[in-house]
Structure 1
Amino acid sequence: MHSSSLHAIGGTPLVRLRRVVPDGAAEVLVKVEGGNPTGSYKDRMALAVIEGAERRGALAPGQRVVEFTGGSTGSSLAFVCAVKGYPLSIVTSDAFAQEKLRTMRAFGADVTVVPSEGGRITPELFVRMRWEVDRIVEREGAFWTDQFHNTDALTGYADLGREIVQQTQGSGVTVDVFCAAVGTAGMFAGVSAALAQAGRIRAVALEPNSSPMMTAGTPGPHRVEGIATGIVPPLLAEGPFDEARTVDEEEAREMASPLARQEGVFTGTAGALNVVGAIDLAREMGRGHTVVTVAPDTGLKYLTGNLFDS
C-alpha cells in the first residue's frame, strides 16, 4: 500500500513488439509509460523538479508554480502540485489535445490558453507562451520550473532508464540502441545516460520530418505533441547522443492504430513516431540485436482528435 499517490509513479512494463516488426529485423522493446498516474512519463519529471526545488529552497511552501507546456508536463505538474499543496499556473495552447487541458484543470491548475495558427505547433507559439510565463512570474512571484533547462528532470528520467536496465538484464537481453523523439530532451538524456552506465549503447534522437531542426537546422510546423519545439534542446547535451534522425510524421500517425490493434500498445503520436523510428533501426540492424524505445503516454489523451480514425 502506497502512503501517497506520488509513490505510484514508475514501475511501468517493458513490452516486446511481435506483429508490427518485420521478419528478420532486430527485436523492438517498448517501455509503456501510460500506466503512470496521469498516463504519462512526465509524472517522473514533474516530481523530480518539484522535489529538487524543495531541497534547494527555491520553492517555498504555498508558493505558486508556473510552466508553459504542450500538455503532458502541465497535467503531471498539476497532479504533483495538487498532492503537495502548491498552486499552479499553466500556459498552453489550443494546438494541444483538449484531454490534456481538461486534466490540468481537473487537478486544480489555472490554465492560460494561447491561440495557435490553425492548430499547428510552431516555434513562434512557444515564444508567445513563454511571454505569458514571464508575466505570471512577475505578477505572482511564481517559481518557474523551466523544463527546457532544469537538470532535475534527469533525476526522474534516470529512474526510467534504470528500470529498463533491470528489466532487460533480468531477461538476459542486451540493449544495442535506444531511440526516442525529443521535446525538452530530458527523457532522452536521462534514459540514455542510465543505459550507458550499464554498457555501451547507441543513442539515436528522433524528430518529425516536418520539423527537422536537429538534422537540418530547419524548424517547421507539425502535429506531434510533446516534441520538436523548434530548437535544439539544451538538455540534449546531458546524455550520450550519437545520431539524430527524422521520421515521417504521416507514417507515425498511421502507426498509432495498428500499434493498438495488433500489439495492444495504446499511445499517442509521439509514441507511434518512436516505434516507427525503432522499426527502421531494427530493419537496419537485423536479427540478434535489440532496440528500445518509449511509449510516452496513453492514447486516452488523443481520443477527441482523428489519430485513431483509420
Structure 2
Amino acid sequence: MNNGIVDSSLATIGDTPMVRLQRIVPDGAAQVIVKLEAGNPTGSYKDRMALAIIEEAEHRGDLKPGQRVVEYSGGSTGSSLAYVCAVKGYPCTIISSDTFSEEKIRTMRAFGADVVLVPSNGGLITPDLFDRMRDVLDGIVETEGAYWTDQFHNTDALIGYDALGQEMLRQTERSGIVIDAFCAAVGTAGMLAGVSRTLKAALPDVVVTALEPTTSPMLSAGHAGPHHVEGIATGIVPSLLPADLYDRVLTVDEAVARELAAPLTREEGIFAGTSSAFNIAGALRIAQELGPGHTVATVACDSGLKYLAGDLYRT
C-alpha cells in the first residue's frame, strides 16, 4: 500500500481491507472473512475491472486519445468506467435502465458520462432487457466509432481481479489463515474467475462456489428468470467463467439476501448492497457445511450508499 502522495486517484484503487464476521455467523460454523470493496474510489470493486480494461486497450492501441468509450451496464460497471474515463479524458456513454439504482445512474452522470436509459419490464431484470440495451450500444458503436469495452467477454477484466485475489492471499497469510472456500455471485463472472484462478494457483484445495438466484438458475439448471439483484444473473452462461474455475453452484434466495442486509449493517457494520448481502448469505451457508476449523471468504462488492433510494434499507 502506498501511504504517500499519489499523482492520480486511479492509484488509490485496491488495497481494501478484509474483516472477520463476528456476530451473524451461526454457532458451529466455519469462520467467514469478507473483502470490503467499498473503499475504492466509486465505492465498488468494478473500479479494478474498469481500470484494467481501459489501460490494456490503451497499451494495445485499440483505444485512441479522445475516442468515445461505450458499455451497457446495470450500474457499477457504468459508474466505474465513467470515473476512469473522466480521469483519463475519454468521452463515455453508458446504456442502462430504469430498473437499476438511481444512485448508480446519477454517479455515471456525475462523472460526465452520457447515460441512455432503456425501459424495463415492470422494474425487473430480465434477459431481454440486456438484448435491448445491446441494440442501443451497437448503434452508438456504428455511428460514432466508439470503443466498446465488452464487459461480458473482455478477458482484460481478469487482470484487475487477479490483484484482488493476490491481496486476499497476502492478507490471510499475514493472519495465519488458509482459505478453504471462496464464493461469489455471477454476473459477467470476471471477479469470480479472476479471484478463482489466483486462489487456485496458490491453494490447490480451495473450493470455489458460483452463486446465483433461485429464480434464475442458469448455471445449475440451464434457464434464466426474473430477479432484482443488480449486477448478477444476466440470463447467460458467462464466457469469462470456464468450468475449471469453479467447483460447484449454489442457489441463494433473493429474499434471504435482502433480509441479511440490515443485520450486516447493524451488527457487523458492513453497509453494503444486495449483491454483497447475496455473497455473504452464500458464504454463511457454506460455513455451516464446513464447520469449525475452516475459513470461507467472499467479497462485499460495494457500498450501501448506492441503494438508499430503493427499498433495501426502508424500515
Q: TM bucket by the smaller chain?
A: over 0.9
| Paired residues, number | 310
Aligned to 2:211: 206
Of 24, 35, 41, which residue of structure 2 is paired with 1:37?
Answer: 41
Partner of 1:27: 31
Cα offsets for 1:84-139 (capped at 9, x unmatched): 00000100000100000000000000000000011100000000000001000001
In the alignment, does 2:257 pair up with 1:288? no
Q: TM-score, normalised by structure 1?
A: 0.99
Deviation at 1:23, TM superposition (A): 0.7
Asked if 2 retains the 8 angstrom alpha-carbon contact of 1:28 and 1:291, the reply is yes
Tell me the CA shift for residue 234 of structure 1. Answer: 0.5
* 2:216 equivalent to 1:232: no
Q: Distance in 2 between matches of 1:210 and 1:58?
A: 39
- Number of the residue aligned with 2:50: 46
Measured in 1, the distance between the counterparts of 2:122 and 2:266 equals 30
Q: Displacement, 1:238? A: 7.8
Asked if 1:267 is matched to 2:282, the reply is no
Q: Does 1:219 align with 2:224?
A: yes
Structure-2 separation of matches of 1:308 and 1:21: 21
How far apart, in 1, do the equivalents of 2:59 and 2:239 lie? 23
Q: Is the 8 A contact 1:67 1:133 kept in 2?
A: yes
CA distance in 2, matches of 1:140, 1:167: 44
1:21-46, Cα deviation, whole Å (9 max, x unpaired): 00110000000000100000000000
Q: Which amino acid aligns with 1:280?
A: R
- Tell me which amino acid in the other structure corresponds to 1:302: Y
Runs of 4+ in structure 1 deviating by more than 6 angstroms, as ranges, are: none
Amino acid at match of 1:180: A
Residue 80 of structure 2 corresponds to 76
Letter of the 2:213 partner, please give it: P
What secondary structure is seen at the aligned counterpart in 2 of 1:29?
Answer: strand
Q: CA deviation at 1:283?
A: 0.2
How far is 1:2 from its partner?
Answer: 1.2
User: What amino acid is aligned across from residue 153 of structure 1 in structure 2?
Assistant: A
How many percent of aligned residue pairs carry the same amino acid? 65
- 2:248 pairs, out of 230, 235, 243, with 243
Gaps of 5+ in 2: none
**In structure 2, distance between residues paired with 1:114 and 1:249:** 24
CA distance in 2, matches of 1:21, 1:228: 26
Q: In the alignment, residue 100 of structure 2 is paired with which amino acid?
A: F
- The TM-score, its normalising length taken from structure 2, stands at 0.97
Question: How far did 1:270 drift?
Answer: 0.4
When the two chains are superposed, the root-mean-square deviation of aligned CA atoms in Å is 0.8
Q: Would the aligned equivalents of 1:190 and 1:239 in 2 still touch at CA under 8 Å?
A: no
